A = this chain, B = another copy of it.
Amino acid sequence: MSNTPVDITRLDASAEGFRERLDSMLAWEGVSDDAVVSIVTEVIREVRRRGDEALVEYSNRFDRLDVTDMEQLSIGADRFKQAYEGLPEGQREALRVAAQRIRDYHQRQLQESWQYRESDGTLLGQQVTAMDRVGIYVPGGKAAYPSSVLMNALPAKVAGVAEIIMVVPTPAGEVNELVLAAAYQSGVDRVFTIGGAQAVAALAYGTQSVPRVDKIVGPGNIYVATAKRMVFGQVGIDMIAGPSEILVVCDGQTNPDWIAMDLFSQAEHDEDAQSILVSTDEEFLDRVQASIEKLLPTMERAEIIRTSLESRGMLIKVCDREQALEVTNRIAPEHLELSVENPESWAREVRHAGAIFMGRYTAEALGDYCAGPNHVLPTSSTARFSSPLGVYDFQKRSSLIQFSAEGASEMGKVASVLARGEGLTAHARSAEYRIRK
A residues lining the B interface (CB < 8 Å): 30, 90-91, 94-95, 97-98, 101, 105, 108-109, 114, 116, 123-124, 126-127, 129, 131-132, 142, 145-147, 178, 214-215, 229, 232-233, 235-236, 239-240, 255, 257-258, 261-262, 264-265, 267-269, 299-301, 305, 336, 343-344, 347-348, 350-359, 361-374, 377, 380, 382-388, 390, 392, 396-405, 407-408, 411-415, 417-419, 421-431, 433-434
Contacts and interface: CB of A to CB of B under 8 A. Distances in A.
A368 to B, nearest CB: 6
A398 B425 CA distance: 45
Given A105-B124, A108-B114, A364 B430 contact: yes
A370 B414 contact: yes
A384 to B, nearest CB: 4
Given A347-B127, A414-B370, A365 B398 contact: no
Given A129-B352, A369-B415, A370-B411, 15 more contacts: A30-B233, A91-B421, A127-B347, A132-B352, A236-B384, A258-B434, A299-B425, A355-B398, A358-B402, A359-B403, A361-B434, A364-B430, A365-B430, A369-B427, A388-B398
A344 B402 contact: yes
A237 to B, nearest CB: 9
29 contacts: A95-B418, A98-B414, A129-B351, A131-B385, A132-B351, A229-B229, A261-B430, A264-B426, A299-B426, A305-B426, A354-B398, A354-B399, A356-B400, A358-B401, A361-B404, A361-B405, A361-B407, A362-B401, A362-B402, A363-B433, A365-B427, A366-B415, A369-B418, A370-B411, A370-B415, A371-B401, A385-B396, A387-B398, A392-B392
Considering residues A265, A300, A397, which has the most beta carbons from chain B within 10 angstroms of its beta carbon?
A: A397
Given A90-B417, A97-B414, A415-B368, A255 B301 contact: no
| 7 nearest CB pairs, A to B | A236-B385, A373-B399, A361-B408, A358-B402, A264-B426, A355-B399, A94-B417
A223 B428 CA distance: 30
Contacts of A366: 401, 403, 408, 411-412, 415, 431, 434
Nearest to A401: B371
A97 B371 CA distance: 47
A422 B145 contact: yes
B401 A369 contact: no
Given A90-B417, A372-B124, A399-B373, A131 B433 contact: no
Contact of A258 (B97, B305, B428, B430): B430
B400 A358 contact: yes
A10 B188 CA distance: 41
A94 to B, nearest CB: 4
A433 B228 CA distance: 39
A384 B124 contact: no
Contacts of A127: 347-348, 350, 356
Contact of A408 (B101, B126, B363): B363
Contacts of A145: 422
Contact of A414 (B236, B301, B361, B369): B369
A300 B362 CA distance: 66
A267 to B, nearest CB: 7
A350 to B, nearest CB: 7
Contacts of A369: 414-415, 418-419, 427, 431
